[in-house]
Structure 1
Amino acid sequence: MARRTPAGAELTRSAPAHWPGLNDRVWVEVQMPDSFGGETIRIPTRVEDAHDGTLVVAAPSFRGDLHVVAPGLPVAVCWAGQRGQSRQDFLIAEVVRRRVPAWDLVPCSDVVVEQRRRYARVPASGGVHVTPVHGDPLAAEVDPDDPVEEPTVPAQLVDLSEGGSALSVPAGSWLRLGRLARLAFDLEGFPVHQEGQVVRSLDSLEADRLEVVVAFAEPVAAADRLRRYVMQTQIRQRRGGDR
């Protein structure tokens, strides 16, 4: 299938070996237009394919995506590498409606390795108590006429980074895209309490559960402890032969 190249784009054909692998989790950064707040948003997704100088990622969902996403849109892709956080600028060449909707991305810069661990994610386990945040503007949309307080959601850690966490949660809970949430969990004997926003919701292998990704709000009070946990876990993985 022919690939469309956005007009005026100066492309850089980086070696695929520099890129994340198939099914690896990555983050895409999108600069929203002023009409949608003008902020840079960061959304997690995963790699679907990489071929002919094109990186294919599953199309992430976010507020305003139907109005913003189109061929030619510049995005940045970030992923955890062996030397630290890797980052590369891309342009969306094509929005493809496959079985899994995807973005075909063509690079327009070299890969830059940032020696930071904020975005590096490592497996984690343990229970999490998730409670709603007072003043969440989306809370009223659940049922504005129901005065019952939304319950605490019992969740399980899936992975963890300095900047966020993936959680396995029961299907049908109030946790959905855009909701604000407060996480409380134990990390190697120390309590962590952190607010964040649900930026991604994925189907789980278990029919009655979902996997949601919560991006932590700044400041991250436990940043040093989370960073140390990520580093120690990566060291253990490398010793065991895992990336």
Structure 2
Amino acid sequence: MARRTPAGAELTRPAPAHWPGLNERVWVEVQMPDAFGGEVVRIPTRIEDAHEGSLVVAAPSFRGDLHVVAPGLAVAVCWAGRRGQSRQEFLLAEVVRRRVPAWDLAPCSDVVVEQRRRYARVPASGGVHLTCVHGDPLAAETDPDDPLEEPAVQARLLDLSEGGSALSVPVGTWVRLGRLVRLSFDLEGFGVDQEGQVVRTLDSLETDRLEVVVAFAEPVAAADRLRRYVMQTQIRQRRGGDR
């Protein structure tokens, strides 16, 4: 049966095969503006319709949605697949007002399959030297004339995966949600130097410290060594009865 675009034009071509199907559960991610905390909100929803060039999801509800939801809003859609979590970037084309309000989303990137092994996290320890990254848009809020003058931060490793790391940092530094950082640390005699972005912050049991999660930017130069470290640590844990 022919479907219509939001503008009313006939569209008979099917949805791409890699997209989730009708009524499947998905998650949408929206970057909130600084006025609403600046965090990335992740909200569950479901597929209402899909055809080539348009993915329609039930409109999710979240704090601040009335202020940020408008055509042109950047949205990421994530869903579970057989090869791992799939993710694709979209722009909100239209808010469809009907019995179930929906978002009509237009794709603006290819589908990326995030392999589960990239997120296997194992304990790690050691010092990490954190420096700011040239071109970080959030750095200008600190020192618009010379953001690279921000002092290096000495952090501690908490865990590692092929795709990122959890760190403990002192309270009150420039390391916060959304910041771009460069990590330099030693991993079993091998130097790792990797850029990433702070995607999560958590309170620490130590009142003078903060826990942050850094997602590594692609390409990950030390991916093979990180993968080997994760696998070897998992093997040691299983041998020791810690699963």
TM-score, L = length of structure 2: 0.56
Q: How far, CA to CA, are the matches of 1:179 and 1:147 in structure 2?
A: 12
Q: Which residue of 1 aligns with 2:8?
A: none
1:203 CA drift (Å): 0.5
> Which moved further from structure 2: 189-198 or 116-125?
116-125
* Counterpart for residue 21 of structure 1: none
Q: CA deviation at 1:180?
A: 0.3
Which residue of 2 is the match for residue 205 of structure 1?
A: 205
Partner of 2:228: 228
- Is 1:159–2:146 an aligned residue pair? no
Report matched runs for 1:1-243 at 5 Å: 10=23, 30-32=28-30, 66-67=64-65, 76=78, 116-144=116-144, 149-243=149-243
Kept after mapping to 2: 8 A contact 1:44/1:199: no
Structure 2 contact 156–167 (Cα < 8 Å) conserved: yes
Structure-1 residue corresponding to 2:13: none
- Equivalences, count: 163
Distance 2:63 2:196 in 1: 20
Amino acid at match of 1:144: P
Question: Secondary structure at 1:118's aligned position in 2?
Answer: helix
Tell me, yes or no, if the aligned pair for 1:186 and 1:192 is still in contact at 8 Å. Answer: yes
Over aligned residues, Cα RMSD in angstroms? 3.8
- Deviation at 1:30? 3.5
Deviation at 1:142, TM superposition (A): 1.9
Give percent identity, aligned residues only: 73
Please report how far the alpha carbon of residue 66 of structure 1 lies from its aligned counterpart in structure 2 after TM superposition. Answer: 4.0
Inter-CA distance 172–178: structure 2 relative to 1 (3 Å threshold): same
The alpha-carbon deviation at position 239 of structure 1 amounts to 1.0
Distance 1:65 1:135, change over 3 A: farther
Where does the alignment leave 5 or more consecutive residues of structure 2 unmatched?
A: 1-21, 34-39, 43-61, 70-74, 88-113
The code of the aligned residue for 2:141 comes to: E
**Of the two, which has the highest radius of gyration?**
2
